[in-house]
Chains A and B, each alone.
Chain A
Amino acid sequence: MKTVLKLFARARDLAGSPALELDLPDSATAADLRIALGERVPALEPILSSLLIAVGNDYAAPTTPVAGRTDLAVFPPVSGG
């Protein structure tokens, strides 16, 4: 399924793009998305394991379904304040 995600901060810089479209299996979870993202964008490898995944305005668990979503975001640990 066509799945769209936004990228922020260093993830955006490494990917060279603010957004990506991935084709994921219907059963894909956030854990699967992380793996697919690493294969699609090898440049993300140094921070892949630390990336946070959000579905809508909420952080996803590894088991959260993500296939077909267009409101995903992927980013490194936050540093506001």
Chain B
Amino acid sequence: MIQLTHTPIDFAALTESVRSTQAGAVVLFLGTVREMTQGRQTVALDYDAYPEMAEAKLKELEAEARARWPVIEAGIVHRLGHLELGDVSVAVAVSCPHRHQAFDAGRFLIDRLKEVVPIWKKENWSDGSTEWVHPGTGEAAELSG
């Protein structure tokens, strides 16, 4: 299951949805909103997406994972909008016959998601400023809060 949502992610239901009697292993990855980044304090994150392309890319990643590992079921849900500290921003659940496959497939999905899926986070720093996170652009990109 692939989903973008503006409401809190029910990761227990997502995990349950990938369970199968064919699977000996279920792996769940959660991305959560972290308070400290290189000494700076986050108070919230805002996530934006290009929804059509993001959903298409997530489906491609699922298909690629299924081609590489014996995935029984996979589910990826990404939250959009305003998230507070500790909120779950992304959940990836994978079931496979054996644990190494499930860990590898799950890691592949979250690693590739962060590289190719058009979703962006904006930091809301504790000093009141905001800043889009755009890896590799090599500048502070600081905007007035």
Contact = CB atoms under 8 A, between A and B. Distances in A.
Contact of A57 (B57, B78, B110, B122): B57
A76 interface: yes
Contacts of A79: 114, 119-121, 132-135
Nearest to B56: A57
Interface of B: 31, 47-50, 52-54, 56-57, 78, 89-90, 110, 113-122, 132-139, 141, 143
Contacts of B90: 80-81
Contact of B110 (A47, A76, A81): A81
Interface in A26-73: 46-47, 50, 52, 54, 56-57, 59, 73
A81 B32 CA distance: 8
A13 B134 CA distance: 13
A80 B136 contact: no
B50 A54 contact: yes
Contacts of A75: 50, 118, 120
A42 B109 CA distance: 36
A75 B117 CA distance: 11
Given A8-B48, A50-B137, A78 B119 contact: yes
Given A57-B52, A76-B120, 19 more contacts: A8-B48, A8-B120, A9-B48, A9-B120, A47-B134, A47-B139, A50-B138, A54-B53, A54-B118, A73-B50, A76-B134, A80-B47, A80-B54, A80-B78, A80-B90, A80-B117, A80-B120, A80-B121, A81-B89
Contacts of A6: 50
